[in-house]
Amino acid sequence: MLKSFAIAGVAAAGLILGSANLSTADAKTCVNKAGQGTNSTADGAKFQAWEAVLQATDWGSWGQFMSSGQKIGTAPGYAVSKVSFRCKAGGLGQECIAQATLCK
């Protein structure tokens, strides 16, 4: 009976260690960023604000963004979440602040 407990204990320890390794491997580094943009239109100001978010995060991702479709809310090499924009009249016509969480 003692052997059964010892084997069960070793098996349980293996499962716990295995879970810890999976968690470490799946861990991501996330940053919260914001950027401000101004333009004559709200869409243009949002684009400028999103560019500022990418530039503050990773210039390489910004470069890929500029050469690959330029879809606001995307960041090549990152998982993007919690994207929000606040826009108001100001600057050259419209001023927007973008905020997002980017994880690598």
The torsion angles phi and psi of 59, rounded to 5 degrees, stand at: -60, -35
The sheet with strand 79-90 has its strands ordered as: 30-39, 93-103, 79-90
The parts of the chain modelled with pLDDT lower than 50 are: 1-24
**What's the pLDDT at 92?**
80
**What's the pLDDT at 104?**
94
Half-sphere exposure of 43 (CA within 13 A, CB side): 2
**What's the pLDDT at 26?**
59
**What's the pLDDT at 6?**
38
SS3 of residue 99 by DSSP: strand
pTM above 0.85, yes or no: no
Residues 13 and 19: their CA atoms lie apart, in Å, by 10
Half-sphere exposure of 64 (CA within 13 A, CB side): 11
DSSP letter for 41, please: S
DSSP letter for 70, please: -
